[in-house]
């Protein structure tokens, strides 16, 4: 009889081990599913942020070019000859004794 009891115990412990393995496998599948969903969500956010960074980099490049143009204009405005040239061109001023001729712009 003792032999019958001993042979029954391994089957029961084997069932318990199988249940624990199944439970562990189910928990692992659940965890991996959750981790995959989090990763998927973060990849989407990363793509959006990368597009925003690219757009901001382009705006920065445009702003740097504009700033350089303004710096050049400021340097040129410190030159009296440039100021005279600009006034003559934009405001149609002339020196004494000069005659200005206007040409009509074609439509």
Q: What is the pLDDT of residue 99?
A: 79
- The pTM of the full predicted model, rounded to 2 decimals, is 0.52
pLDDT of residue 56: 97
- Looking at residue 12, its pLDDT comes to 66
**DSSP string over the chain:** -HHHHHHHHHHHHHHHHHHHHHHHHHHHHHHHHHHHHHHHHHHHHHHHHHHHHHHHHHHHHHHHHHHHHHHHHHHHHTSHHHHHHHHHHHH----TT------PPP-
What is the spatial distance between Cα 7 and Cα 21, in angstroms, rounded to a whole number? Answer: 22
**Mean predicted confidence (pLDDT) in 17-44:** 95
Mean residue pLDDT of the chain comes to 87
Specify whether the backbone of 92 is left (phi greater than 0), alpha (psi in -120 to 50) or beta: left
pLDDT for the residue numbered 1:
44
Does residue 67 or residue 5 have the better pLDDT? 67
pLDDT of residue 2: 52
Where does the pLDDT of residue 9 fall: very low under 50, low under 70, confident under 90, or very high at 90 and above? low
């Amino acid at each position: 009889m003792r032999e019958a009891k001993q042979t029954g115990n391994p089957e029961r412990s084997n069932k318990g081990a199988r249940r624990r393995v199944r439970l562990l496998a189910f928990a692992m599948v659940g965890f991996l599913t959750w981790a995959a969903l989090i990763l998927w969500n973060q990849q989407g956010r990363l793509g959006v942020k990368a597009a925003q960074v690219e757009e901001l980099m382009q705006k920065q490049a445009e702003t740097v070019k504009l700033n350089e143009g303004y710096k050049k204009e400021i340097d040129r405005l410190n030159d009296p000859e440039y100021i005279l040239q600009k006034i003559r061109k934009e405001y149609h001023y002339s020196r004494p004794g000069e005659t200005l001729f206007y040409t009509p712009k074609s439509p």
